[in-house]
Amino acid sequence: MAKSSTTSASAELIGLVERQVALGPRVPGSAAHDRLADELAARLDGAGAEVHVQPFEARFHGRTVSCRNVVGVFHCGTPAAPMLLLGTHYDTRPIADREPDPRLRGVPIPGANDGGSGTAVFLHLLDWLRGEAGGLGRDVAVAFVDAEDLGDIDGNPFSLGAERLAANPPVGVGRPDEVLVLDMVGGRDLVLDIDAHVFRHAPSRELTASLFRLGASLDLAPFAREKPERVKYIISDQWPFLRRGVPACLLIDLDYPEWHTQADLPAAMSGDSLAAIEAALKPWLSRPRAKGHRSSPGS
């Protein structure tokens, strides 16, 4: 039974990626991007979350475009319990700077893994969160973050949306006390990297260790397997939080050969990788925790 439910989760998760890819590249300013943002807000609302949209603008390729972070808060804790933010970017990169064929480097990537994978995992988790939220004992925010992947294009940094969310969280969301970010978690033969930034911030190191320990104890390959040079300094949507002192953990595998190429398609991915991430997240979210306290406003 456990096996068959994992198999169906794998198929459902890849289906959620395919659905996003079928919209077309979700480049900020495009119709596909705006349509997905609308769908994410509707899915959060349908799962019983309180939805907050944080609009902002970005500029690239000579255009100013509308962006938005879409955040759903599941109120399931006492006000004093630390709030956890689960974040992932849903936008996709407007160029393919690692594409081997130079003629295709100016074409937006399909963004199956890079943009589609974390979004699929959190979409799939929504129904579970709706059912389990009361038992988690704390507020959990699911943040579909925009404009991660405009980095190094026309002078933009990476993670514009996460920077906005960390610097100026919407009223009703507030400053998270812990952050977990997913990015490119659906590659074949996924082995997760470890963000070296956490070794300079003990609470982030402990948060990261708790998830990797649990994943390895369940013998889930992305956590349990080793690879050379697994520890890397990585800038993704965890960084705006971590650099402000918020304990933050990033799950990512940068050793994805199709990264920022036209081959970032569902065919390069594995539903089992996505399912393994989800299989670690559920018990990690449910784990008993030492009593913590919600940070006070302005701290």
Strand pairing class (178-183; 140-145): unpaired
From residue 77, alpha-carbon distances to 97, 284, 294 in Å are: 44, 16, 10
- Pick the binder of Zn ion from 91, 149, 178, 195 (CB under 5 A): 149
> Is 10 or 236 the residue whose CB approaches Zn ion more closely?
236
Q: Is 73 helix (H, G, I), strand (E, B) or coil?
A: strand
> Is 76 or 185 the residue whose CB approaches Zn ion more closely?
185
| Total site size for Zn ion, rule CB under 5 A | 3
Residues of span 181-210 touching Zn ion by CB under 5 A: none
Q: DSSP label at 144? A: E
Q: How far is the CB of 100 from Zn ion (least distance, A)?
A: 17
Q: How far is the CB of 149 from Zn ion (least distance, A)?
A: 4
Q: How far is the CB of 93 from Zn ion (least distance, A)?
A: 5
Residue 95 CA to its chain's centroid (Å)? 20
- Pick the binder of Zn ion from 91, 114, 264, 272 (CB under 5 A): 114
> Is 52 or 93 the residue whose CB approaches Zn ion more closely?
93
Helices (H) and strands (E) in the chain, counts: 8, 8
Q: Provide the mask over 84-113, with x wherever binding to Zn ion is found by CB under 5 A and - wherever it is not.
A: ---------x--------------------
Q: Bridge-partner residues for 181, per DSSP?
A: 87, 250
What Rg, from alpha-carbon coordinates, does the chain have? 18
What is the binding site for Zn ion (CB under 5 A)? 93, 114, 149
